[in-house]
Amino acid sequence: MANIITMGEIMCRLSPPGATRLVQATAFNIVYGGGEANVAVSLAGFGHDVHFVTKLPNNELGDAALASLKAHNVQTNAVARGGSRLGLYFLETGFGIRPSKVIYDRAGSAMAEATDPDFDFDAIFANANWFHWTGITPALSPQAAQLTKKALIAAKKHQVTVSVDLNYRKKLWSPKQAQAVMTDLMQYVDVMIGNEEDAQLSLGLTLRKTNVTSGELIKEDYLEMFRSLSSQYGFQLIATTLRESYSASKNGWQALLFDGERLYESKRYLIEPILDRVGGGDAFSAGLIHGLLTRDKEQALEFAVAASALKHTIYGDFNLVTENEVDTLVTGDLSGRIQR
CATH number, position 121: 3.40.1190.20
Within-domain flag for 129? yes
Within-domain flag for 245? yes
Within-domain flag for 95? yes
Q: At residue 83, what are phi and psi to the nearest 5 degrees?
A: 85, 175
Judge if pTM exceeds 0.85: yes
Can you tell me the distance from the alpha carbon of 25 to that of 142, in angstroms, rounded to the nearest whole number?
Answer: 35
Give me the pLDDT at residue 340, please. Answer: 43
Within-domain flag for 340? no
Within-domain flag for 84? yes
Helix (H) or strand (E) holding 231: helix 219-233
Answer with the residue of higher pLDDT: 179 or 214.
Answer: 179
Q: How confident is the model at residue 121 (pLDDT cuts 50, 70, 90)?
A: very high
Give me the pLDDT at residue 102, please. Answer: 94
CB atoms within 10 A of CB 138: 26
Give me the pLDDT at residue 278, please. Answer: 95
Give me the pLDDT at residue 338, please. Answer: 47
pLDDT digits (tens, 9 = 90+) for 129-174: 999 999 999 999 999 999 999 999 999 999 999 999 999 999 999 9
Within-domain flag for 338? no
- Alpha-carbon torsion (41, 275, 56, 285), positive or negative: positive
Can you tell me the distance from the alpha carbon of 108 to that of 340, in angstroms, rounded to the nearest whole number?
Answer: 48
Give me the pLDDT at residue 337, please. Answer: 55
Q: Report how many domains make up the chain.
A: 1
Within-domain flag for 335? no
Within-domain flag for 307? yes
pLDDT digits (tens, 9 = 90+) for 294-331: 999 999 999 999 999 999 999 999 999 999 999 999 99
CB atoms within 10 A of CB 314: 17
Can you tell me the distance from the alpha carbon of 288 to that of 112, in angstroms, rounded to the nearest whole number?
Answer: 28
DSSP 241-265: EEEEEEETTEEEEEEEEE-SS-EEE
CB atoms within 10 A of CB 157: 12
DSSP state of 163: E
- 258 pLDDT higher than 70: yes
In the chain, which residue ranges form alpha helices assigned H by DSSP?
35-45, 60-70, 121-125, 136-139, 142-157, 175-185, 196-203, 219-233, 280-294, 297-311, 323-330
Q: Give the 3-state secondary structure of residue 56.
A: strand
- Give residue 300's domain range: 3-330
